[in-house]
Amino acid sequence: MIELSRKVWSENKKFRTANPQFDGVLQCLYVGMTSRTPQERFKQHKTGYRSKKGHKISAAIVEKYGLYLRPSMYTHLNPMTKAEAIKMEEELALELRRQRYAVWWG
């Protein structure tokens, strides 16, 4: 889980549209899964990481707006299998939206 700058709310129309429940009180967050450590994956997002074949595999929203990791929101969830992680990513994002966070995932 990565906390995003609140600028994402004012500057990114897709993010605003995806989060009509957001009231500005809680944080803007990114939820993702990785086989790497969260620290390694965050660094990849922030540097616009590309695969060996040249495919961009970092999230542009994290590259531009990512501030820092929020381990208190995810360490209790690990470890899990890839199948569990795929399911959990969406479930967690939707649960956080129900709690009125603004969330992007993927």
Cis peptide before 71 (omega within 30 of 0): no
The single-letter DSSP state of residue 3 is: E
Look up residue 27 and give its two tokens: 């944080």
The pTM of the full predicted model, rounded to 2 decimals, is 0.92
Residue-number span of the structural domain to which 86 is assigned: 2-105
pLDDT in tens, 30-78: 999 888 889 999 999 999 888 899 888 889 999 999 999 999 999 988 8
Nearest CA to 8 among 52, 82, 65? 65
Number of domains in the chain: 1
